[in-house]
């Protein structure tokens, strides 16, 4: 009974802070509510007896990702007025075409992986024993490509924020 009350209380806080993230007009306050949201998600992981995920949640998301968001918010001047003209060098159709190509690739990957899926059998045993070791083994063997793609996306986002914040000389 106590675990259910704790779960629903944490879930209510998580939902409340998530609403505040998108409802707050000040972007810095929005990022701070996001930090609180991530911390309550970590508390939920502790309640569900997943301490490794709780620590990773605090270190990676509440620490790293939110700091990256704060840098973006601080670097990009949100108070400046919107541009009065459109850039004639902007290639809108090229962007739409590349987006459509990426969506087609994702659809092809989804169809290919669902069509070639093998029937579910017993899971292969990993050569390591502990929970943390299993996560590390899977992360750097089976899920290495998605892990690297996520890190490249974060790098591109950071470079994009710096380019946007660069003032014209």
Element (H, E) at 151: helix 144-165
Q: Are 30 and 22 in contact (CB under 8 A)?
A: yes
Mean pLDDT by 10 residues, the chain (169 residues): 92 95 87 90 91 87 79 68 66 84 84 65 65 80 84 82 67
Within 80-121, residue ranges assigned H as helices are 92-115
- Residue 9: what pLDDT? 95
| pTM more than 0.75 | no
Measure the CA–CA gap between 126 and 7, rounded to whole angstroms: 32
Domain covering 1-76 in this structure, CATH number:
1.20.120.1200
Structure-token match 């259910």, residue found:
4
């Amino acid at each position: 009974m106590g675990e259910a009350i704790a779960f629903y209380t944490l879930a209510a806080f998580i939902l409340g802070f998530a609403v505040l993230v998108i409802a707050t007009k000040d972007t810095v306050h929005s990022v701070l509510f996001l930090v609180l949201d991530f911390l309550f998600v970590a508390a939920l992981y502790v309640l569900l007896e997943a301490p490794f995920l709780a620590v990773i949640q605090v270190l990676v998301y509440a620490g790293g990702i939110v700091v990256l968001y704060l840098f973006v918010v601080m670097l990009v001047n949100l108070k400046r007025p919107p541009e009065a003209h459109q850039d004639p060098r902007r290639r809108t159709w090229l962007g739409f075409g590349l987006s459509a190509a990426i969506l087609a690739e994702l659809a092809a990957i989804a169809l290919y992986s669902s069509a070639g899926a093998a029937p579910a059998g017993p899971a292969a045993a990993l050569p390591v024993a502990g929970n943390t070791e299993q996560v590390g083994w899977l992360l750097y063997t089976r899920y290495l490509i998605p892990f690297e793609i996520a890190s490249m996306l974060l790098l591109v986002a950071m470079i994009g924020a710096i380019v946007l914040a660069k003032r014209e000389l």
